[in-house]
Amino acid sequence: LPNRIRKSDVVVIGGGAIGLAIAWRAAQRGLGVTLLERGRFGEGTSRVAAGMLAPIAEARPTEQPLLHLNQASVKAYPGFADELSEASGMDVGYLRCGTLVAARDRDDAEALERELEMRLALGLPVSRLRASEARRLEPALAPSLRLALEVADDHAIDPRLLTAALVEAGLRAGARLRAGAEVATVEVSPRNRVSGVRLTDGEVLETEHVVIAGGVWSEAIEGIPHEARVPIRPVKGQILRLHDPSGAGLVSHIVRIAGSYIVPRGDGRYVLGATMEERGFDTAVTAGATFELLREVIEVVPGVSELVIDEVSAGLRPATPDNAPAIGPTSVHGLWWAAGHHRNGILLTPITAEIVAGMLVGEQRPELAAAFAPARFARGAAQSSTRRDRLMPVGA
């Protein structure tokens, strides 16, 4: 017989930034939370992420609901980072750095003018800088620079500090966080209601609510009825971590160049990324990708060639068919998704946790989350009911 342990109000599957933040927020609201992580906390996609909090620099005009969600999350970040720091007693590496989007040549400059127009039409706070103005802000930019956009409100965080602080804050709030606990199956009763989860070692945890926050690994979880599944594919990103032996100061803004970026940590360390590759679960780092990333960034910030390379790695962004996250309940009572954040996982951590923890205790779905309902991926089956499951805090 499987080993049954104490019942939880909610089981969160996945110990990356999103899952850990949900566990923390849900525990703060008085819920009995168990988080299950198949490996180690924060060691999947979160560990590789650059930590750009840059919704405006990355905005696409066709993705307005996502832009609004991203902006709400970036707005929540200073308060979230302060509270997390306080709750964990740890620094989370939040840096108010702003972003410069740089154009190297005429083609880049034309594209940047169009990007500027689009952002201004959306009412986004971005300004056009002549090359000389950009170089006054960042003297390390190459003299060949054509044009730049400044996005003063786009900042950064260190995802490794973020997840470490979330673990500590979650534990202090009373969440049970278990590493090395891999879920095989979500158990759903014949009445279409979650009853528990079964781990790969046979252990069963009883719970009425399961939040799937397993990123690209969510696909491997069995037992989720077809109509409540969210297809998620990995989008590989190769990324470098470097440091400047002479200390901080090479660049103080995030600098974006076409598909690449360099993110300062504020202490002489930098993160330089990232490729977008659809190659399944491959996480090999390749010479060609590393070369291209470095070439593109060094063309605009030549001083990068003096930096020391500390790490080259590859992470797997979790992407849904429309590349937007799945956040909220499903047609299976008690089954929730918080996955598929693609390029925006670290950015969307505060707002995702707030939405899910709030809905778990019976709050209405906020309007800005409506576009991200997992039900949009339901195929064939009857559409999800609008019924909201309400979960009472422990002891209430």
Contacts of 393 (CB under 8 A, 6+ apart): 9, 29, 30, 31, 361
Beta carbon nearer to ligand GLY, 93 or 273: 273
Least distance in Å: CB of 385 to ligand GLY?
34
CA dihedral 307→310→316→317, nearest 10 degrees, is -40
Please give the Cα distance from 23 to 41 (Å, whole number): 12
Task: Please tell me whether residue 237 binds ligand GLY under the rule CB under 6 A.
Answer: yes
Least distance in Å: CB of 58 to ligand GLY?
7
Maximum Cα interatomic distance, the chain, rounded to a whole number of Å: 72
Least distance in Å: CB of 51 to ligand GLY?
8
Show the tokens assigned to 173.
Answer: 């709030």
**268 — phi, psi (to 5°)?**
95, -5
Residue 99 amino acid letter: T
Beta carbon nearer to ligand GLY, 15 or 273: 273
Our separate counts of H helices and E strands in the chain read 8, 18
Least distance in Å: CB of 237 to ligand GLY?
5
Residue 254-273 contact track with ligand GLY, rule CB under 6 A, x = bound:
-------------------x
* 343, 354, 372, 391: residue in contact with ligand GLY (rule CB under 6 A): 343
- What number of chain residues touch ligand GLY (CB under 6 A)? 7
Least distance in Å: CB of 182 to ligand GLY?
26
Burial 147-160 (b: 16+ CB within 10 A, else e): bbbbbebbbbbbbb
Binders of ligand GLY among residues 126 to 165 (CB under 6 A) are: none
Least distance in Å: CB of 263 to ligand GLY?
9
Please give the Cα distance from 335 to 114 (Å, whole number): 42
Beta carbon nearer to ligand GLY, 176 or 343: 343
Beta carbon nearer to ligand GLY, 119 or 343: 343
Strand partners, 329: 336
Residue 301-320 contact track with ligand GLY, rule CB under 6 A, x = bound:
----------------x---
Beta carbon nearer to ligand GLY, 77 or 336: 77
Least distance in Å: CB of 265 to ligand GLY?
15
Least distance in Å: CB of 273 to ligand GLY?
5
Please give the Cα distance from 143 to 135 (Å, whole number): 8
Task: Provide the 10 A C-beta neighbour count for residue 258.
Answer: 17
Beta carbon nearer to ligand GLY, 317 or 333: 317
Least distance in Å: CB of 72 to ligand GLY?
17
Beta carbon nearer to ligand GLY, 21 or 52: 52
Contacts of 146 (CB under 8 A, 6+ apart): 103, 104, 105, 106, 108, 109, 131
Please give the Cα distance from 35 to 392 (Å, whole number): 18
Binders of ligand GLY among residues 274 to 293 (CB under 6 A) are: 274
Binders of ligand GLY among residues 34 to 93 (CB under 6 A) are: 50, 52
Least distance in Å: CB of 87 to ligand GLY?
26
Task: Please tell me whether residue 369 binds ligand GLY under the rule CB under 6 A.
Answer: no
Q: What is the DSSP string of 310-360?
A: EEEEEEEEEE-TTSS-EEEE-SSBTEEEEE-BGGGTTTTHHHHHHHHHHHH
Beta carbon nearer to ligand GLY, 260 or 330: 260
Whether the Cβ atoms of residue 358 and residue 350 lie closer than 8 Å to each other: no
Angle (CA) 253-258-262 rounded to 5° is 30
Beta carbon nearer to ligand GLY, 52 or 151: 52
Beta carbon nearer to ligand GLY, 273 or 325: 273
Please give the Cα distance from 359 to 361 (Å, whole number): 5
Q: Where along the sequence are the contacts to ligand GLY (CB under 6 A)?
A: 50, 52, 237, 273-274, 317, 343
